Amino acid sequence: MKHFLQLRDLEPAEYEHLFERARVIKDRFKNYVAYQPLVDRMLAMVFEKSSTRTRVSFEAGIHQLGGSSIVLHTGETQLGRGEPIEDVARVISRMVDIVMIRTFEHTIIERFASQSRVPVINGLTNDYHPCQVLADIYTFIEHRGSIAGKSVAWIGDGNNMCNTWIQAAQIFEFKLRIATPSGYGIDAARAATAGRHIEILTDPLKAVEGAHLVNTDVWTSMGFEAQAEARTEAFRGFMVDRRMMSAARPEALFMHCLPAHRGEEVAADVLEGPQSVVWEQAENRLHVQKALMEYLLLGRVEA
Ligand code: CP
Ligand code: NVA
């Protein structure tokens, strides 16, 4: 049994398989061809933070594959009244076939997984958002082919998305050029493990120079709302606007995991502009996560 808690939980060959399955599954979906290998399988989703894309893509995805789902929000469950996460894992995983969790500290999902009888998927923690980056890499490949050897810029917060892109750079062999305001960078240990795959800069214009892909995210992630004012101040100059995009390659793509704040981390005309693939990224959450659930529950399906 495998869990998907961080991108590095799977090997490059497994990603190759997942991307091929995502392509097949997406093609069937677009052509109204029913594909229901997960009949009678149940997905439980535990949300300790808000969500639109993750909820809809997992719920629609499991239903389209023939299965069903239960959505739990912390406040409505005994988790909200202090039941230990390990006990919740033991109980839920005796009743369903696969679990997705969105929570705060990454250790919470690790503790859940350690007691789970079924595969656990990370739907976002303070440290990682692997389902999103899975969709993002797939989206890049759809538009531009292999991401190996390419230059990817990360502009803004050294957050869960940035950490996940760092793992992606190591797995998919590209260069990640990270520009964050002082005090909001990635931690030194993480930078050390990424070695030659990342470059840390302070000037966002330098980071986007020659990039094949420019990536950003909100300045204040969920759980950090108390810092919002200080962050708005510190991130001045880090908005991805047309001037910044023009320092990248002319064919560079723009990505954002959404939700976006126009006029803060991204200018409206970049988000809505011809280089932006943000809506495709969001849609691809559905297709890659269907491939992921198929893989975690059934192994390598070739049909
Ligand atoms: N990108 C993403 O995970 O969106 P939601 O917070 O809406 O799920
Ligand atoms: N970094 C953001 C991503 C939201 C999908 C957050 O954690 O809030």
The reply to whether 120 and 19 lie within a common domain is yes
Report the separation in Å between the CA atom of 81 and the middle of ligand 2, taken as the mean of its atom positions.
Answer: 25
What is the C-alpha to C-alpha distance for residues 108 and 175, in angstroms, rounded to an integer?
30
Bridge partners, residue 215, by sequence = 154, 255
- Ligand 2 touching residue 257 (CB < 6 A): yes
Residue 97 above 90 pLDDT? yes
Q: Which residues line ligand 1 (CB under 6 A)?
A: 51-54, 124, 132, 257-258
Q: Which residue in the block uniquely carries the two structure tokens 């009949």?
A: 39
The answer to whether residues 264 and 243 belong to one domain is yes
Structure confidence by residue, pLDDT tens digits, 180-195? 999 999 999 999 999 8
Pocket residue to mutate for ligand 1, from 45, 52, 131, 284, most atoms within 8 A of Cβ: 52
Q: Catalytic site residue 94?
A: no
Burial class (CB in 10 A: 0-12, 13-18, 19+), 258: middle
CA separation for the pair 183, 223 (Å, rounded): 17
User: What is the rounded distance in angstroms from the CA atom of residue 86 to the CA atom of residue 185?
Assistant: 32
* 238 and 260 share one domain: yes
The four Cα atoms 279, 281, 285, 290 give a dihedral, to 10 degrees, of: 110
Identify the band that residue 303 occupies on the pLDDT scale cut at 50, 70 and 90.
Answer: confident
Q: What average pLDDT does range 106-125 have in this prediction?
A: 98
Q: Is residue 303 situated within a structural domain?
A: no
Question: What is the b/e burial string over 72-88, where b = at least 16 CB atoms within 10 angstroms of the residue's CB?
Answer: bbbeeeebeeeeebeeb
Domain contains 23: yes
* pLDDT tens per residue across span 18-58: 999 999 999 999 999 999 999 999 999 999 999 999 999 99
Residue 20 domain boundaries? 7-129+285-298
Same domain, 152 and 119: no
| Domain co-membership, 218 together with 229 | yes
Q: How far is the CA of 49 from the centre of ligand 2 (A)?
A: 10
Instruction: Report pTM.
Output: 0.98
Contact 283, 10 (CB under 8 A): no
Give distance in angstroms: CA of 126 to centre of ligand 2. 8
Element (H, E) at 47: strand 42-47
Domain-located, residue 2: no
Is residue 32 in some structural domain? yes
Number of domains comprising the chain: 2
- The DSSP code for 199 is E
From the candidates 41, 127, 257, 287, give the one annotated as an active-site residue: 257
**CATH number of residue 11's parent domain:** 3.40.50.1370
* 29 and 90 co-located in one domain: yes
Mean pLDDT of 248-274: 98
Active-site option among 256, 285, 287, 289: 285
> What are 134-181's pLDDT values in tens digits?
999 999 999 999 999 999 999 999 999 999 999 999 999 999 999 999
Is residue 1 a part of any domain in this protein?
A: no
Confidence of residue 4 (pLDDT cuts 50, 70, 90): very high
Distance 218 CA to ligand 2 centre (A): 7
Q: Is residue 224 part of a domain?
A: yes
Same domain? 29 vs 158: no
Residue 290 lies in a domain: yes
If asked whether residues 26 and 124 sit together in one domain, one would say yes
Nearest CA to ligand 1 atom 4: 53
Q: Do residue 170 and residue 185 come from a single domain?
A: yes
Same domain, 120 and 138: no
Tell me the β-bridge partners of 100: 45, 121
Whether 22 is in the pocket of ligand 2, judged by its Cβ within 6 Å, is no
13 plus 66 within the same structural domain: yes
Q: What is the largest CA-CA distance in the chain?
A: 54
Q: Whose CA is nearest to atom 7 of ligand 1?
A: 52
Mean pLDDT of 91-101: 98
> Which candidate, 260, 256, 261, 258, places its Cα nearest to that of 276?
256
120 and 150, same domain (yes or no): no
What pLDDT, in 10s, does the model give residues 127-139? 999 999 999 999 9
Active site residue 285: yes
Residue 54 Cα to ligand 2 midpoint, Å, equals 11
Are 166 and 177 spatial neighbours (Cβ–Cβ below 8 Å)? no
At 254, the pLDDT band (50, 70, 90 cuts) reads very high
Assigned domain for 183 exists: yes
Residues listed for the chain: 303
Look up 269 and say whether it is catalytic: no
